[in-house]
Amino acid sequence: MKYALITGGSRGIGRSICVKLAEMGFSVLVNYQSNKAAAEETKSLIEQRGGIAELLPFDVADGAAVEKNLSEWQMAHADDYIAVLVNNAGIRRDNYMFWMSDEEWKTVLDTSLNGVFYVSRILVKYMMNKKFGRIINIVSISGVNGMAGQTNYSAAKAGIIGMTKALALETAKKGVTVNAIAPGFIETSMTKDLPQDELKKLVPMQRFGQPEEVADLVAFLASEKSSYITGQIISISGGL
């Protein structure tokens, strides 16, 4: 069986991606760190639609925990492999740099950047052995253009963009594509505290995007129809 692992899959964009990939026929691994109730809800949504889902809890920022959990899963699923990895887990700790604490800087980079490295490093080997794989990194317009008050978040996402382009070169001959999606303002719990009415004025389409719109793009990149696309950063931002 081909599985899809979505890190940070319990809520928001991650949940929509889980549901969409399940609809495509993938067995879905819903990763989460601590919110088991939300992860169970995502699993239930998938199963209600006739899909298959498993919960796979671990903190992507903990390299040892990542290796332990993914290695144990692979040992228990000797005939299966994770064909699609969506690196979606990320956190924000917004602050201006001159007020930013070491903890605000380190926490964001540990989860949003290092977590992508820890998970991808393990799974890309299996994908290359199978000569098929899709790694899709969820970045941000903040990592493309920068954003005041988000030097930590912008740095993490920009780092993933560089990682995406480099890893794509390493895996292309083995049939593994690596791409990134850079959402703009999407209606999720991460943006609920933002001044939406003011920010919508900055977006040419005059609205925030929906998680399902990001999931549709992930679905295309996860499919065989995207086999000649790799190393690309695709913005989904309403023209921002």
> Could you give the residue numbers annotated as active site?
153
Contacts of 193 (CB under 8 A, 6+ apart): none
The CA-based angle 69-39-159, given to 5 degrees, is: 65
Answer whether 222's CB lies under 8 Å from 4's CB: yes
What is d(CA 63, CA 189) in angstroms, rounded to the nearest whole number?
Answer: 26
**Residue position matching structure tokens 């990194």:** 137
